[in-house]
Amino acid sequence: MQIYAEILTIGDEILYGQIQNTNTHYISQALSEIGVKVRHHTTVGDDEQAILTALKQAHDRADIILMTGGLGPTKDDITKKTLCKFWETDLIIHDEWLRKLEAFFTKRGRPMLESNIQQAAMPRTATLLDNRLGTAPGIWQDFQGKIYVSMPGVPHEMEVLMQEQVLTRLRAHFTLPYIVHKVIHTVAIGESFLAEKINDWEENLPAHIRLAYLPHNYQVRLRLTGIGNDRVQIEGDIAQEVEKVMPLIEKFVFGFDKITLEEAVGQLLMTENKTVSTAESCTGGYVAHSFTKVAGSSKYFKGGLVAYTQEIKTGVLGVETQTIDAHTAVSEQTAKEMAIQVRQKFNTDFGLATTGYAGPEGGTPEQPIGTVWIACASEKGVFAQNHVIPLDRMRHIYFATVLALDLLRKNIVGLE
């Protein structure tokens, strides 16, 4: 039996276009992955009547109503009172949560305000969902056969609640079909080129397996989704299709399922017991950040230099002034010297360098805005590549970082 969901967002700031409603997108994806069909998205303001009407309509057409927003310390009043009215219950202070809040504020040496105490108020008939990242808990309510979940609007708090509690509880409550996903992560190949390479394979996919292309930041995730009543069967069918497609795209694939490019590169470095350092110009620290956002990265990432001006490139990093004078700062030669120098200075196995014109100013007729040179130095020598990324400044930084990480990946596995 198909289970239907509706997503209800509460908040004037969304209606007035002050913030983008990313929560609804996230929840829609998460529900689709467990076989729940989302049929409606609604956003209303912090207004009792509007919330009540939306709840009533949602109640009539969905089995699951997931809500976000309206739970911050300055405004959770309306939302929680309105939910109580709709669920025909009242608010009580949740003792355990109150003690948790008290501990939270004591630990920070901060006074607890009346608005903070109210965050422990819960509808009497509801179940509290622990929010380990914030002060507003989640609310789970079974009302007249429909499941309601209210979550705080702060995206990462909502995401952790969804992943750790809401999805598991929904799976336990409803009988859902088996949906099996397999994600293949590719990098440094555009969507249409990828589609061309795997066209024949794609056309011969069995009917119960669907393919989606999910492009982001010069990476395309290929998501295979199988649906059916026999989990083992679907998993086997998907594994078989992965085996068929891999030879066509192997060199672009850096991993499967939940992994990021920086995690994949980090794992390769750990496996090979190698270290890396970075020398960045146009990416301005973003390559170093990409390494260090991964927990445990100090095992392989020793550090880096952001050499944003010529003075730092020569004076601190040690690039020869005549190299820059002869070839400019955005050149194969400068990139290579940056990689060699940082590898030496930081005493690492790999040295990774970027130099380019991120824009909106800079560039030359030969090396227009968007040009980036990346280089990777190792005991085998130094390799450089150039690319033109004629996009805005932020995407230049992100794409150049992805290309740098991919160059390192190819160097480690011997593809370059």
Scan residues 327-386 and list those touching a second copy (CB under 8 A): 345-347, 358-361
Residue among 175, 273, 295, 379 that touches a second copy (CB under 8 A): 295
- Asked if residue 179 lies in contact with residue 228, where contact means CB atoms within 8 angstroms, the answer is no
Angle between helices 393-413 and 261-272 (to 10 degrees): 30
C-alpha R_g of the chain: 26
Q: How far apart are CA 75 and CA 84, in angstroms?
A: 15
Q: Does 87 bind a second copy (CB under 8 A)?
A: no
* Pair 396, 402: CB distance under 8 Å: no
User: Which residue in 81, 146, 197, 289 binds a second copy (CB under 8 A)?
Assistant: 289
H or E segment and range at residue 120: none
Residue 141 touching a second copy (CB under 8 A):
no
Least distance (Å) between residue 124 CB and a second copy: 25
Among 90, 106, 230, 296, binds a second copy (CB under 8 A): 296
Selected from 18, 175, 204, 229, the binder of a second copy by CB under 8 A is 18
User: Which CB sits closer to a second copy, 45 or 146?
Assistant: 45
Specify the stretch interacting with a second copy by CB under 8 A; choose among 210-218, 234-242, 263-271, 320-328: 210-218
Closest among 78, 68, 6 to 42, alpha carbons compared = 6
- Contact between 274 and a second copy per CB under 8 A: no
Q: Which residue has 């699951």 as its token pair?
A: 64
Q: Contacting a second copy (CB under 8 A), which of 2, 168, 240, 298?
A: 298
Of 128, 167, 195, 270, which one interacts with a second copy (CB under 8 A)?
195
21 binds a second copy (CB under 8 A): yes
Scan residues 213-242 and list those touching a second copy (CB under 8 A). 213-215, 223, 225
Which H or E run contains 253? strand 253-256
Instruction: Choose the binding region for a second copy from 167-175, 186-194, 227-235, 320-328 (rule: CB under 8 A).
Output: 186-194
Query: Contact with a second copy (CB under 8 A): which of 88, 196, 230, 272?
Result: 196
Q: What residues numbered 35-74 form the site for a second copy, per CB under 8 A?
A: 38-45, 50, 57, 72-74
Provide the terminal-to-terminal Cα distance of the chain, rounded to the nearest Å: 51
Considering beta carbons, is residue 89 or 105 the nearer one to a second copy? 105
What residue type is 211 in one-letter code? L
Specify the residue, 138 or 153, whose C-beta has the smaller distance to a second copy. 153
Residue 237 to residue 231: CA distance in whole angstroms: 10
Q: By three-state DSSP, how is residue 73 classified? A: coil
Of the residues 95, 203, 243, 311, which one makes contact with a second copy according to CB under 8 A: 311
| Beta bridge pairs of residue 215 | 220
Is residue 203 a contact point for a second copy (CB under 8 A)? Answer: no
In whole angstroms, the minimum distance from the beta carbon of 9 to a second copy comes to: 8
Q: How far apart are CA 348 and CA 350, in angstroms?
A: 5
* 52/55 Cα distance (integer angstroms): 5
Q: How far is the CB of 106 from a second copy (least distance, A)?
A: 13
Binding-site member from 89, 312, 328, 363 for a second copy (CB under 8 A): 312
Q: Which of 228, 284, 318, 363 binds a second copy (CB under 8 A)?
A: 284
Q: Which two tokens stand for residue 354?
A: 């970027």
Interaction between residue 158 and a second copy (CB under 8 A): no
**Enclosing H/E stretch for 233:** helix 231-249
As measured in angstroms, the least distance from the Cβ of 291 to a second copy is: 7
Among 34, 167, 253, 391, binds a second copy (CB under 8 A): 391
CA distances from residue 378 to 188, 266, 297, 353 in whole angstroms, order as listed? 22, 16, 19, 12
Residue 186 sits in the site that holds a second copy (CB under 8 A): no
328 Rama sector, left if φ>0, alpha if ψ -120 to 50, beta otherwise: left
CB 154 within 8 A of CB 114: no
Cβ-based nearer residue to a second copy, 126 or 261: 261
Report the nearest approach of a second copy to the CB of residue 238 (Å): 16
Chosen residue from 326, 394, 413, 415 binding a second copy by CB under 8 A: 394
Tell me how far apart the alpha carbons of residues 343 and 351 are, in angstroms, rounded to a whole number. 4
Count of beta carbons in the 10 Å neighbourhood of residue 414 = 7
By beta-carbon proximity to a second copy, the closer residue of 125 and 328 is 328
